[in-house]
Amino acid sequence: MAVATIIGGGVIGGGWAARFLLNGWDVRVFDPDPEAERKIGEVLDNARRSLPGLSDVPLPPEGRLSFHEDLGEAVQGAVWIQESVPERLDLKRRVYRQLQEVCDPSAIIGSSTSGFKPSELQEGALRPEQIVVTHPFNPVYLLPLIELVSSPANDPAHIERAKDILTGLGLFPLHVKKEIDAHIADRFLEAVWREALWLVKDGVATTHEIDEAIRMGFGIRWAQMGLFETYRVAGGEAGMRHFMAQFGPALEWPWTKLMDVPEFTDELVDLIATQSDAQSGHHEIRDLERIRDNNLVGMMRALKHQNWGAGEVLNRHDQRIKSAMPGHVDQIDDLSQPILTLARAVPLDWTDYNGHMTESKYLDAFASSTDRFMELIGCDADYIASGGSYFTAETHIRHLDETHAGARIEVRTQMLLGQGKKLHLFHRMYEGETLLATGESFLLHVDLETRRPCAPSAGIEAAMARIGEAQAALPYPEGAGSAIRKPT
């Protein structure tokens, strides 16, 4: 089992420990803080909850975690040593001198520093070539970017080995080949931070308004396409050169306090346009737009699930639309036909490798239809909070035709049985007049305190009776009650 040693067990050190540990490495922690074990344990609790959810395959068996008071014992046999001590250059140099007296000369020593250059860290070291910057982003166990910054003292083979190890942890090592204070990403963050401070100081915006401007707009775009590719798309079919011709003069306008900008020359335009062509030129603009839209939908739907940021906005919009719909069977004019329980477009993230709706999403759609039917008969959120609900006992789905992203689907629901504690529903999914699938569900009403079946409220009984009477003349659906046939 490979061994990683973490020097400094704060937020970043704890994140590194979780990343290594949950990817099968043994992890040793050296930190004089008496609270280190508790702090790292709490970070690990969060990591164990979230990191495995990023993978569709099982992670390796978790490694062994140990805490050490002796530095030599902590680094013995370690392949990787990650330093995450406070941002004091004298402290970091002192730690490296102590480390290199006891560690394996072939071990990689990575620094989590967000600002110091590797050559500054290497000064006075016993083996300067052993030390590199590996700057992570919090939470280290989830975000993939590691700024791997090297100096002329580092052997290329040492850097390639570091890349291989980081990649094996599910990280994205971005090799920064030219040293600069604060590397790449934090320089962007610092520029935005400084401008934000001015906006607050000058009374232009509050901290809340600034955060909303980021998370409701360009922050989501940047998350999936970065800066230059986002602007390339904004340039339309003419690409980056057109975008720069349109918006380049704005660099001279007093839009920001940060007015020390490079001169907007033909050479700079050529340089950026050429690099942009190499980065994205193999995609047509419409392809880039579709890729962008797919990613934005996926991210914003994830935010909807958490009711956070842009997702909260979308949920409120859904609720406004839903509030105009019937809330109870008494508000539906015609109950003699199957009831409309779902009407929506198939989202982009519902499709599979074959290009049509994945199996689990049919169940998702039919489950939503069941939930809607429950609301209509009175088993709504308030009723459930009072202690009663329906549990699904059995489901059967038939796939009759293909369903693709963007298709506008409707589900219409026929109640086959609605008496006492039993509820038997038959859903039909359509695109226009085309029957795509059917879903059959048998449910039991339960007491949420005892978790045992029981009769529903008189109001729900009355609503089911009304539907049953209205739909009594409907023929029994084809396929209802069927099961998978045995091959003959």
Establish whether 10 is an annotated binding residue: yes
Residue 195 and residue 257: Cα distance in Å, rounded? 7
Distances (CA, A) of 222 to 38, 212, 299, 422, 461: 35, 15, 12, 50, 52
Establish whether 9 is an annotated binding residue: yes
* Residues present in the chain in total: 488
Q: Which two tokens stand for residue 226?
A: 């970065």
Q: Which two tokens stand for residue 238?
A: 């003419």
Question: CA triplet 291, 297, 298: central angle to 5 degrees?
Answer: 90
Question: CA triplet 450, 451, 454: central angle to 5 degrees?
Answer: 85
Establish whether 11 is an annotated binding residue: yes
Establish whether 12 is an annotated binding residue: yes
Establish whether 236 is an annotated binding residue: no
Establish whether 291 is an annotated binding residue: no
Task: Name, in order, each residue with C-beta under 8 angstroms of 154's C-beta and a sequence gap of 6 or more.
Answer: 118, 129, 132
Strand pairing of 108-111 and 131-135? Answer: parallel
One-letter amino acid identity for 463?
A: A
Which residues are known binding-site members? 8-13
Residue positions forming the annotated binding site for NAD(+): 8-13
